[in-house]
């Protein structure tokens, strides 16, 4: 007698899900990974329009753009500072486990809009 067994990996993220985030010019925005379970040996990679922005594994983080534009947190969240219209676009995050297997893949669309209205108080 012989039998077959099919093993299907279960991922917490969904490649088909696209989150739309909005940011204000000159402000900051946080792109959060839903369902992320932080483990020390996970590798997190953020891309914008297929170009690498940041890669992190534990406390070791590498940024591919100069300056303090991006900040990668231990939970995989990407913070984008000093937003400009050129920051609008498609972002993708992938999370791999210690053996290199894909755990989470999530896509975002960021739309940067005009500056926030300033408040002025009249005496």
Closest Cα to residue 21, out of 10, 32, 6?
Answer: 32
Specify if 106 maps to a domain. yes
**Model pLDDT, residue 87:** 96
**Model pLDDT, residue 70:** 95
Cβ within 8 Å of residue 64, ≥6 positions away: 51, 52, 53, 54, 55
In the chain, the number of structural domains is 1
Q: Are strands 51-57 and 43-48 parallel, antiparallel or unpaired?
A: antiparallel
Specify if 71 maps to a domain. yes
Confidence band (pLDDT; 50, 70, 90) for 121? low
**Cβ proximity of 80 and 61 under 8 Å:** no
Specify if 68 maps to a domain. yes
* CATH classification of the domain holding 54: 2.60.40.10
Quick one: average pLDDT of 4-14? 43
**Model pLDDT, residue 2:** 46
Specify if 83 maps to a domain. yes
Specify if 66 maps to a domain. yes
Q: What is the reported pTM?
A: 0.77
List the domain range (segments joined by +) for residue 86: 22-113
pLDDT tens digits, 31-78? 999 877 776 668 999 999 999 999 998 788 999 987 789 999 988 999
Distances (CA, A) of 43 to 6, 8, 68, 76: 27, 22, 21, 9
């Amino acid at each position: 007698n012989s039998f077959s067994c099919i093993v299907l990996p279960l991922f917490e993220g969904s490649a088909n899900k696209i989150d739309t985030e909005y940011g204000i010019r000159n402000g900051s925005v946080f792109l959060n990974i839903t369902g992320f379970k932080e483990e020390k040996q996970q590798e997190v990679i953020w891309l914008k329009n297929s170009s690498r922005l940041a890669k992190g594994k534990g406390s070791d983080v590498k940024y591919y753009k100069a300056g303090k534009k991006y900040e990668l947190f231990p939970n995989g969240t990407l913070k984008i500072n000093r937003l400009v219209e050129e920051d609008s676009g498609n972002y993708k995050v992938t999370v791999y486990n210690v053996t290199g297997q894909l755990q989470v893949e999530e896509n975002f669309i960021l739309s940067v809009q005009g500056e926030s209205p300033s408040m002025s108080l009249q005496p």
